């Protein structure tokens, strides 16, 4: 294998149970473990999902109407087709939560669901509640639209997580058998189908399965799906023709929608459905990591530059348009109508974390942190019970959290991401550990066959001081890579009280400390965390002349609850100093930012709508709260991009 000729450090994430999380993320995980996980299961039951997967019950038939997006083409999609994926993500979330907090009732329910899948699985390994119970006889006839492999992927992810958290391998065995069946149906060999899923997901799931089982074949299958995507003759054309359909009657007009418009190695623009794009790039990053595949890496770097240079919200949200749930044009980042689906920001966390598999690089960790602290967890209420599908950056007060969605992809997606936060904090290679995220936690990692325990103490993201205690059974040589966040202009590092010259040890935004570590070693990192004004590229017409407030990794916003005024009347003078203050009683405890700003006055406007005289400014104290925490109080206006000087 070519890749083996040029081995390199591959950083893999720890399994969730390897990291005990406290502090900021501990609170978020507890909300998921104590509320969200049960809610997810309950909502799945209420939707009727168990009626669909349990082979003992009569088939419920189609309960949710097929989508009608285009009257000229009979539509073929109902969200009911995705139910296996919703259950997969629910199982995955539950798994991480069971590790966090015993919940025998929920565990029993998940075991019962797994039992249904065990009984549903066909002798050949095939497993799809939709195609077995609702549309029998049509399996593998519409990979473009019907999420068949996507559902498999989410069940695989759920299986790996459930195994890691509980040690129970039943679902893992089921899904390995199904993966084997998929490998027998799809592949480069003669007689196998040359297809891949319209909604990417199975690729990254197969990587997880390979890592959990040690089976290379799953990696190879993932790589096949990735490399086959967008090849000519186009699989989705032939598949449509085989169904007797005209491929041109694709609802979304262009194969950019599912990133199959050209082979992935030739792609350089992030296009189409945002979640699909993120899942594809995540799988590509995994494969680039595992195979040391520089060609794939080059494509990923181009795509990364495109997203981060032209198509990403300041919150780490992405995909501005409802129409395709995805990308539009360069610099098109409307705030009030931002789609910015929770799942897409979660997907960016997936992608960026996997880019870190190829080595520590703050470029990727910065984006991961941005999406984590802002555009993804904004999708989950502080108590873990309510959800956002869209994450706009401006609201007139009518955008409020929902109990559930018709297409319930986001709730379990943000749930599993939050509950798995520990696995994003570190990367582990043969002789190195990378610390990507800071905050209270204890990690039990294995480097060069040795157990290493790292204990972080930090009030991050509210404060920038981080203390890391290293605990090893006996002195062990490895490199500790410590991220110096891109948002930090001034950092100080010491090991056992001795200052380290950051400039000399830092590469790609990580300080590398290579030494023989001994029990009791102490690392201290101080990250300066002032309030910063952020500006958007002037081609972003919605943000021009405006500023966003950030402190550390957090993006802030104004809410009507704190600022009883039309928020677009507010103007923040360039020199107005901001005061940051931790408010323990507010929104579960957050640092707020306050300043003496101005507002366009209305007192002298009487009844006229337009006039020639300039508007008079009046003093207006403002208080900003973290964006992720918005709409957790009474409904009201919200604004991220504030008018600047």
3-state SS string for 281-326: HHHHHHHHHHHCCHHHHHHHHHHHHHHHHHCECCCCCECCECCCCE
Q: Is 237 in the site for its own copies (CB under 8 A)?
A: no
Q: Is 616 helix (H, G, I), strand (E, B) or coil?
A: coil
Using the rule CB under 8 A, is 362 a contact of its own copies?
no
Q: Is 323 buried (19+), middle (13-18) or exposed (0-12) by CB count in 10 A?
A: exposed
Q: Does 309 bind its own copies (CB under 8 A)?
A: yes
Q: Is 541 in the site for its own copies (CB under 8 A)?
A: yes
**Contact with its own copies (CB under 8 A): which of 121, 128, 308, 563?**
308
Residue 13's CB is within 10 A of a number of other CB atoms, namely 22
- For residue 330, CA distances in Å to 104, 306, 387, 522 come to 49, 9, 28, 46
From CA 131, how far away is CA 510, in angstroms rounded? 48
Report if residue 537 touches its own copies, rule: CB under 8 A: yes
Q: Specify the residue, 286 or 559, whose C-beta has the smaller distance to its own copies.
A: 559
Query: What CA–CA distance (Å, rounded) separates 493 from 191?
Result: 59
Q: Of 283 and 334, which CB lies nearer to its own copies in the complex structure?
A: 334
Q: Which of 106, 314, 484, 500 binds its own copies (CB under 8 A)?
A: 314
Contact between 310 and its own copies per CB under 8 A: yes
Q: Which of 534, 587, 589, 594 binds its own copies (CB under 8 A)?
A: 534
CB of 440 to its own copies, least distance (A): 28
Cis peptide before 442 (omega within 30 of 0): no
Number of residues that bind its own copies (CB under 8 A): 41
Q: DSSP label at 376?
A: I
- Tell which one of 369, 598, 600, 631 touches its own copies (CB under 8 A): 600
From 215-223, 301-309, 493-501, 577-585, span contacting its own copies (CB under 8 A): 301-309
CB of 277 to its own copies, least distance (A): 17
- Pick the binder of its own copies from 59, 568, 580, 594 (CB under 8 A): 568
Q: For residue 614, state whether it binds its own copies (rule: CB under 8 A).
A: yes
Q: Is 514 helix (H, G, I), strand (E, B) or coil?
A: strand
SS3 state of residue 83: helix
- Asked if 490 touches its own copies (CB under 8 A), the answer is no
Three-class DSSP category at 585: coil
Among 442, 566, 580, 632, binds its own copies (CB under 8 A): 566
State the minimum distance, in angstroms, from the CB of residue 205 to its own copies.
Answer: 31
Coil, strand or helix: which one is 351? helix
Instruction: Please tell me whether residue 594 binds its own copies under the rule CB under 8 A.
Output: no
Q: Which are the catalytic amino acids?
A: 325, 409
Residue 308 CB, shortest distance to its own copies, in Å, is 6
271 binding its own copies? (CB under 8 A): no
- Does 67 help bind its own copies (rule: CB under 8 A)? no
611 forms part of the interface with its own copies (CB under 8 A):
yes
What the block records as the tokens of 215 is 């089976």
Residue 312 makes contact with its own copies by CB under 8 A: yes
**Is 539 near its own copies (CB under 8 A)?**
yes
The reply to whether 612 sits near its own copies by the rule CB under 8 A is: yes
For 6, counting Cβ atoms within 10 Å of its Cβ (0-12 exposed, 13-18 middle, 19+ buried), the class is exposed
Contact status: 64 vs its own copies (CB under 8 A): no
The closest alpha carbon to 556, from 528, 580, 584, 540, belongs to 580
Q: What are phi and psi of 473, to 5 degrees?
A: -65, -45
Which long-range contacts does 441-446 make (Cβ < 8 Å, 24+ apart)? Answer: 441/19, 441/20, 441/21, 441/22, 441/23, 441/25, 441/26, 442/19, 442/20, 443/14, 443/18, 443/19, 443/20, 444/18, 444/19, 445/14, 445/18
Specify the residue, 75 or 138, whose C-beta has the smaller distance to its own copies.
75
Which stretch in 27-35, 221-229, 602-610, 620-628 sits in contact with its own copies by CB under 8 A?
Answer: 602-610
Give the range of 355-363, 427-435, 504-512, 600-608 binding its own copies by CB under 8 A: 600-608
Q: Is 576 in the site for its own copies (CB under 8 A)?
A: no
d(CA 362, CA 351): 14
Among 444, 459, 535, 596, binds its own copies (CB under 8 A): 535
| Residue 16 or 548 having the CB closest to its own copies | 548
The dihedral built from the CA positions of residue 588, 486, 350 and 69, taken in this order, carries a sign that is positive
Query: Which residues are CB-contacts of 433 (< 8 A; sequence separation ≥ 6)?
Result: 426, 427, 445, 447, 452, 454, 478, 479, 480, 481
The footprint of its own copies (CB under 8 A) covers 305, 308-310, 312, 314, 532-542, 544-545, 548, 566-569, 571, 574, 599-602, 605, 607-615, 643
């Amino acid at each position: 294998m070519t890749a083996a000729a040029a081995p390199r450090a591959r950083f893999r994430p720890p399994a969730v149970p390897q990291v005990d999380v406290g502090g900021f993320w501990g609170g978020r995980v507890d909300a998921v473990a104590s509320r969200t996980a049960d809610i997810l299961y309950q909502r799945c039951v209420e939707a009727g999902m168990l009626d669909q997967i349990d082979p003992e019950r009569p088939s419920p038939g189609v309960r949710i109407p097929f989508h009608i997006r285009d009257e000229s083409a009979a539509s073929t999609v109902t969200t009911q087709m995705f139910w296996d994926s919703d259950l997969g993500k629910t199982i995955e979330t539950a798994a991480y939560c069971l590790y966090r907090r015993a919940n025998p009732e929920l565990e029993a329910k998940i075991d019962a669901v797994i039992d249904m899948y065990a009984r549903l699985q066909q002798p050949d390994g095939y497993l799809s509640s939709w195609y077995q119970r609702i549309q029998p006889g049509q399996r593998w006839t519409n990979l473009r639209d019907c999420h068949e492999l996507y559902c498999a992927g989410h069940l695989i992810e759920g299986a790996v997580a459930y195994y890691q958290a509980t040690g129970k391998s039943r679902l893992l065995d089921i899904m390995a058998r199904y993966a084997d069946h998929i490998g027998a149906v799809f592949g480069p060999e003669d007689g196998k189908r040359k297809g891949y899923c319209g909604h990417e997901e199975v690729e990254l799931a197969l990587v997880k399965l390979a890592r959990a089982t040690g089976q290379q074949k799953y990696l190879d299958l993932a790589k096949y799906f990735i490399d086959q995507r967008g090849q000519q003759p186009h699989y989705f054309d032939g598949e449509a023709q085989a169904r007797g359909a005209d491929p041109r009657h694709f609802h979304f007009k262009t194969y950019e929608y599912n990133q199959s418009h050209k082979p992935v190695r030739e792609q350089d623009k992030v296009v189409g459905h945002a979640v699909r794009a993120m899942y594809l790039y995540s799988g590509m990053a995994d494969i680039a990591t595992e195979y040391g595949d520089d060609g794939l890496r080059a494509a990923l770097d181009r795509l990364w530059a495109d997203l981060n240079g032209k198509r990403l919200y300041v919150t780490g949200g992405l995909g501005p348009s409802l129409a395709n749930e995805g990308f539009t044009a360069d610099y098109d980042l409307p705030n009030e109508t931002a789609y910015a689906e929770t799942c897409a920001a979660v997907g960016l966390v997936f992608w960026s974390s996997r880019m870190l598999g190829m080595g520590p690089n703050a470029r990727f960790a910065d984006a991961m942190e941005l999406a984590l602290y802002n555009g993804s967890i904004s999708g989950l209420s502080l108590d873990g019970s309510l959800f956002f599908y869209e994450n706009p950056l401006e609201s007139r007060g009518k955008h409020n959290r929902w109990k559930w969605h018709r297409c319930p992809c986001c709730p379990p997606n943000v749930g599993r991401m939050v509950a798995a936060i520990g696995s994003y904090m570190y990367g582990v290679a043969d002789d190195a550990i990378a610390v990507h995220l800071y905050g209270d936690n204890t990690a039990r990692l294995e480097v060069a066959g040795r157990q290493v325990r790292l204990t972080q103490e930090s009030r991050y993201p509210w404060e920038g001081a981080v203390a890391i205690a290293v605990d090893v059974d006996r002195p062990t040589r490895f490199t500790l890579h410590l991220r110096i966040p891109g948002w930090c202009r001034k950092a100080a590092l010491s090991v056992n009280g001795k200052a380290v010259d950051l400039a000399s040890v830092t590469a790609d935004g990580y300080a590398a400390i290579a030494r023989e570590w001994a029990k009791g070693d102490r690392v201290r990192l101080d990250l300066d965390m002032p309030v910063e004004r952020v500006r958007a590229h002037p081609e972003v017409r919605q943000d021009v002349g405006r500023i966003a407030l950030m402190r550390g990794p957090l993006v802030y916003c104004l809410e009507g609850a704190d600022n009883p005024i039309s928020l677009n009347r507010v103007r923040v003078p360039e020199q107005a100093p901001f005061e940051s203050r931790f408010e323990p009683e507010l929104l579960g405890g957050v640092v707020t930012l306050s300043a003496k700003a101005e507002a366009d006055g209305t007192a002298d406007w009487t009844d006229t709508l337009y006039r020639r005289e300039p508007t008079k400014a009046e003093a207006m104290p403002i208080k900003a709260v973290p964006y992720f925490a918005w709409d957790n109080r009474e409904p009201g206006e919200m604004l991220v991009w504030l008018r600047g000087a």
